[in-house]
Structure 1
Amino acid sequence: MTNKLPKLFLLFLGAIFLLNLLQAHLTELIFDEAYYWYYSQNMDWGYFDHPPMVALLVKLSSYLFDGELGVRFMGCILSTGIYIVLWFMIDYPKKKDYIAHFFVLVFSMGLMHAYGFLTLPDTPLLFFTALFLLVYKQFLQKPSYFLSILLGVVMAALMYSKYHAVLVIIFVLLSNLKLILNKYAWVGVIVALLCYVPHFMWLYENDFVPIKYHLYERPNQAYNFSKFTLGYFVNLIAILGLTFPWIYWALIKTKASDKFTKALLFLSYGVIIFFFISSFNRRIQTQWIIIISIPLAILAFNFLIQNQTAKKWLFRIGIVNIVVLLFLRIGLVHEPLFPVTYETHGNKNWVGSLYSQVGETPVVFENSYRLAPMYSFYSGSTSFSLNNMFYRKNQYSIDSSEDKVQHKKVVYVSKYMKKGDVSFFSNDSTIYYGRYIENFESFRKIKSIIGDSEEIDLKEKTDLQLKIYNPYKEDIPIEKLKFNGIFLNKHKQVMEQNPIETTPLLPDIKNLKTNDTTIFIFNLPKPKTENLGYFKVGVSENGLLYGLNGENIKLK
């Protein structure tokens, strides 16, 4: 394939690849990358927040390099591959005359810079979106069983990258509904499903925890036009940068002259409209819409080489955008050049400060799946995130990391403490204190289940049944536990909490038996807050803050 690429193309590509490698090596990890590095320490077919592709990339990188490059190398490879795949999707016979325009167009896209060296779930999502479209284009020209199988494998890789990759598949299908009657297309679907079976099994074994979290349990906010809908349009600009008027102009002016162009248009408009509608319900994160960069790059290039005005201005503004982005990239390494303190600044410093005080003592961070893996990455020491009712569940809630700190002397770190045995400033200048706990013990995997109803009527004063399941390998003395009634608003934000008195259904129960369920009776506390939406029961062990033990039950 490379012998079909012009020398000038390879020169641009090589320069970008080397730049990304250098940036990956010199730039400290961002918190999400540290979290995905943590994923890779225990490879599995799924994780709390995402499918496993990002963990696989980090793991492969770690076999080749240490440090930051040991997290990011495969991301640099895939991001380079995006340029090649995009180039092969362009049919214009004289495209070799516009190599510089091609690179200016793609390299000026803001998040294409970021995902050029950062390794996040969106990194493989972008690559496999491009590869899926390339294979689909070949499939349209001459379908075969080989292309069907390849299409299926790529679709599975897409879904192993990020769940909303399903939008790519759906909108391409909607652009060509005749695929429903195409036997080759069905072969691709079957292959994709077979490849995805291990993740389906993981979801089943883990009670579909990522699906439940993303669809039902994720906290939200009351609708705010500026933050939600207006913020969404700002994101549509941010992913492209200063060249956005000409790229969206290309989208508007392009007509569906063939099935492949129609697929690009459906994918672009489909994602834009889908998240526009979603913006009336929740705040849309910028990276959620990054997949439109792939079809927009193709549509914009095909448009600009036929439109002199667009070609001239997009090239000029694209170079300006690249200069700004390169300046910001230097600022990611050299903090004084960046307009604000960012996640890539100061992580080694705060980790070093804390480690110098506690040594090899394990550190338990209160409510921080961000600080815990960052500390482990740069210190090489054990850490854990203990999540309570004021936070959210994450990978630390479902894996075996709790076992590594049980019954050990730990340092318990929180930003809500006023004093402690140790202290440090994080990279955003927040002061954290830590106190030593000689024999740490937590039971955050205890599950609390309220009765059998999906709703609770606040007007009724009947006793409620509380089932407490103990998944641990040892019995847990009930005297170590306290129970709390937690009221949330309609956006799943904690509004009120009240201790509850529980009575075992069977008398003389002293312990929660291992791998068994104990039934209690309790009275629903009367809340003082109005317009509540949900209720759940949290469990506190050994005086720690109440955990995220129960699911949200709707109130009426």
Structure 2
Amino acid sequence: MNSKFPRLFLILLGLIFILNVIQSALTPLIFDEAYYWHYAQNLSWGYFDHPPLVALMVKLSGFLFEGELGVRFVSCLLSTGMFAIIWMSIDHPKKRDYVPHFFVLLFSMALLNAYGFFTLPDTPLLFFTAFFLYTYKRFLEQNNWLWGLFLGITMAGLMYSKYHAALVIFFVLFSNIKLVTNKYAWLGVLVALFCYTPHFIWLFENDFVTIKYHLFDRPNDPYNFTKYTLGFFVNLIAVFGLTFPWVYQSLFKTKSTDRLTKALLFLTYGIILFFFVSSFNRRIQTQWIIVITVPLAILTFKQIIANAKIRKWIYITGIINGVLILYLRVGLIYEPISPIYYETHGNKEWISGIQEKIGDMPVVFENSYRNAPMYAFYSGVPTFSLNNFMYRRNQYSIDNSESTLQHQKVLYVSKRATGADMELPKGDGKMYYGQFIDNFESYRKLKTLVEEPISLNTEKEQTFRVYNPYDENISLDKIKFNIAYLNPTKDVVDRFALKAIPAESQTKQLISKDTVAFKFKFPKPNMDNATYFRIGISENDLLYGINGTNTKFE
């Protein structure tokens, strides 16, 4: 151990680990973490938005600790491991002389800092990116079945972290095209596919819901240069903060002298180019490009050792970055010094205030996969996000949380004041309203299915089917339909009540585990560019749900 890790390295690494553990225990959850905590209440091989590794991390943390640390402890371990693996990936005889510079460089990267204690899918993504690159390095040095096996395991770890990890695998392997004839590389691919098979099966059993959502159902705004492409370049700077000129200078100065360096360059330039092209179609979020921090940490540290000017300026700007980051980290815990109202602030107090009024009554949140799990985490009572046509589907659309609240008295929380029994102001200035429902009953898993090409410009009757996945029959008296018209970017623009009658007139209910056909005619939309439509269902006069997929007109 000591031959690979100098004593100073281990001391600094230990201090960072302790800092992250303390931060984890004292910082209230952010909304995404609460959502992944909700994942972890029912472990599965997949979830609506992401692969399952983030949920497993939460579950393992919960076995060891309670509260926020019971969500984040594994993240602390993985981020510490990532630092160590990046260090081991650097071959340079003088690297032990620059241990402080190494830590200044990595600690100065804001998102690497954040993922050192927040539990998000990017945390294992960064760990397995580093582990994959180290494994690939050893694979190049010792081309045998053992490192081929590890290559496959790390590729599976990447893909269980986040779907766009496929880019990491692709660009690294593409940098060495001769691997197509390497039997041990193929062993790695087969091992990865074998390890990933349970998730493939989950996707198949769940009608590829995750893939459909990310590729087809997500709304996307019209192209905006400032928001999309210019925003992408801003993100490239924001990832590194004040050190960005010297980090990118290090990238430009690096030459492809060996296969590992070539892989690091392919990965960095490949990710940047891929998301640059993507920026002409959608807004690129900062965390999507976070994986470039791992190869750039390796390349930049080598330049720190070799180039005195880069070493000087990385050290100075990195320390400034680090101090600012530490200040912001304290602000996550202690709101008075924070320059902004962040999502770690105020949630515990808001939830406590609601619970003082209603006790342990279950709560249904309208259109909020953020507030629902946050409330459940801090209150310990069942919650549900009732998603309607003004929102999007999420994990609450496919798991069993709906069933836990059926036929109970609930507080229904929304941003609509109509019919409200109480006001629920939040510290961020947003106003919510609560309404009591004595006998809550929802059927958000009903599916509307359109199975034939549809033309809007027709007077003919059209047909759709409704599938009832529940174990009970549902009376048609409890439901009604609407139709939403969407523009080319999949934003709902027009919506109308839809008069639909059963194809068989004697039908009075939706039979359990069966489908019923309905006939209808399209209401004429007010919009000129109706490109998609979606049929929704309202049960017991709740707002219409998202029961169908976005179907494109012929």
TM range (shorter): over 0.9
| Residue of structure 2 in register with 1:266 after alignment | 266
Q: Which amino acid in structure 1 is aligned with residue 306 of structure 2?
A: Q
Equivalents in 1 of 2:417, 2:219: separation in Å? 25
Please state whether the residue corresponding to 1:479 is helix, strand or coil: helix
Deviation digits for residues 342-376 of structure 1, max 9, x if unmatched? 01101110110111111111000000000000000
Written as runs of structure 1 = structure 2, the 5 A alignment for 1:472-551 is: 472-551=470-549
Equivalents in 2 of 1:417, 1:538: separation in Å? 23
Q: Which amino acid in structure 2 is aligned with residue 462 of structure 1?
A: K
Equivalents in 2 of 1:152, 1:423: separation in Å? 54
Q: Which amino acid in structure 2 is aligned with residue 488 of structure 1?
A: L
Superposed displacement of residue 9, structure 1: 0.2
Superposed displacement of residue 506, structure 1: 0.9
Say whether the 8 Å CA contact 2:105–2:315 is kept in structure 1: yes
Q: Which amino acid in structure 2 is aligned with residue 516 of structure 1?
A: D
Give the percent of matched residue pairs that are identical in Structure 1 and Structure 2. 58
Superposed displacement of residue 426, structure 1: 2.6
Q: Is residue 100 of structure 1 aligned with residue 116 of structure 2?
A: no
Q: Which amino acid in structure 2 is aligned with residue 518 of structure 1?
A: V
Q: Is residue 358 of structure 1 aligned with residue 320 of structure 2?
A: no
Equivalents in 1 of 2:227, 2:530: separation in Å? 23
Superposed displacement of residue 2, structure 1: 5.5
Q: Is residue 555 of structure 1 aligned with residue 553 of structure 2?
A: yes
Say whether the 8 Å CA contact 1:416–1:432 is kept in structure 2: yes
Deviation digits for residues 29-66 of structure 1, max 9, x if unmatched? 00000000000000000000000000000000000000
Say whether the 8 Å CA contact 1:451–1:464 is kept in structure 2: no
Say whether the 8 Å CA contact 1:34–1:373 is kept in structure 2: yes
Equivalents in 2 of 1:238, 1:495: separation in Å? 35
Deviates more, 1:418-427 or 1:170-179: 418-427
Superposed displacement of residue 419, structure 1: 5.8
| Residue of structure 1 in register with 2:372 after alignment | 372
Please state whether the residue corresponding to 1:305 is helix, strand or coil: helix
RMSD: 0.9
Say whether the 8 Å CA contact 2:4–2:88 is kept in structure 1: no
| TM-score, normalisation: structure 2 | 0.99
| Residue of structure 2 in register with 1:287 after alignment | 287
Please state whether the residue corresponding to 1:432 is helix, strand or coil: strand
Equivalents in 2 of 1:522, 1:450: separation in Å? 12
* Structure 1 residue runs without a partner (length 5+): none
Superposed displacement of residue 460, structure 1: 1.7
Runs of 4+ with deviation above 4 angstroms: none
Equivalents in 2 of 1:554, 1:4: separation in Å? 58
Q: Is residue 339 of structure 1 aligned with residue 339 of structure 2?
A: yes
Q: Which amino acid in structure 1 is aligned with residue 300 of structure 2?
A: A
Equivalents in 2 of 1:419, 1:506: separation in Å? 37
| Residue of structure 1 in register with 2:130 after alignment | 130
Deviation digits for residues 301-328 of structure 1, max 9, x if unmatched? 1112111111111111110110111111
Q: What is the aligned residue count?
A: 554
Q: Which amino acid in structure 1 is aligned with residue 504 of structure 2?
A: L
Equivalents in 2 of 1:222, 1:394: separation in Å? 23
* Structure 2 residue runs without a partner (length 5+): none
| Residue of structure 2 in register with 1:407 after alignment | 407
Q: Which amino acid in structure 2 is aligned with residue 295 of structure 1?
A: P
Say whether the 8 Å CA contact 2:50–2:210 is kept in structure 1: yes
Superposed displacement of residue 507, structure 1: 1.6
Superposed displacement of residue 555, structure 1: 2.4
| Residue of structure 2 in register with 1:156 after alignment | 156
Please state whether the residue corresponding to 2:116 is helix, strand or coil: helix
Say whether the 8 Å CA contact 2:94–2:305 is kept in structure 1: no
Written as runs of structure 1 = structure 2, the 5 A alignment for 1:17-416 is: 17-416=17-416
Please state whether the residue corresponding to 2:178 is helix, strand or coil: helix
Equivalents in 1 of 2:425, 2:55: separation in Å? 29
Superposed displacement of residue 239, structure 1: 1.1
Equivalents in 1 of 2:11, 2:261: separation in Å? 29
Equivalents in 2 of 1:364, 1:426: separation in Å? 17
Please state whether the residue corresponding to 1:467 is helix, strand or coil: strand
- Aligned in 2, Cα 1:204/1:427: closer, same or farther, shift over 3 Å? farther
Deviates more, 1:523-532 or 1:393-402: 523-532
Equivalents in 1 of 2:278, 2:88: separation in Å? 33
Q: Which amino acid in structure 2 is aligned with residue 477 of structure 1?
A: S
Superposed displacement of residue 423, structure 1: 2.7
Q: Which amino acid in structure 2 is aligned with residue 344 of structure 1?
A: T
Equivalents in 2 of 1:101, 1:43: separation in Å? 41
Superposed displacement of residue 252, structure 1: 1.0
Equivalents in 2 of 1:450, 1:141: separation in Å? 55
